[in-house]
Amino acid sequence: MIDEQPEPRPGPDPSNSTPEGWTKDMPQEEQDEVLARLRAEFSKVDEECE
């Protein structure tokens, strides 16, 4: 059991019950940028572990 009570959070909008209803495509360039940032931060750690 988890002692801490859940924090209040807004529920989803029932009119948008599929991911298509709450997502918008990102330009590929921005996706690449996010992935590059993640890799810059964490891939170095992976290499050190190997």
Question: What is the contact surface with other proteins in residues (CB under 8 A)?
Answer: 1-7, 9-14, 16-19, 22-26, 30-31, 34-35, 37-39, 41-43
CA atoms of 33 and 47, how far apart (whole Å):
20
Residue 24 or residue 48: which is nearer to other proteins going by CB? 24
**The two structure tokens encoding residue 47:** 């290499």
Residue 30: CB minimum distance to other proteins, A? 8
Residues 6+ apart with CB under 8 A from 12: 22
Residue 2 or residue 48: which is nearer to other proteins going by CB? 2
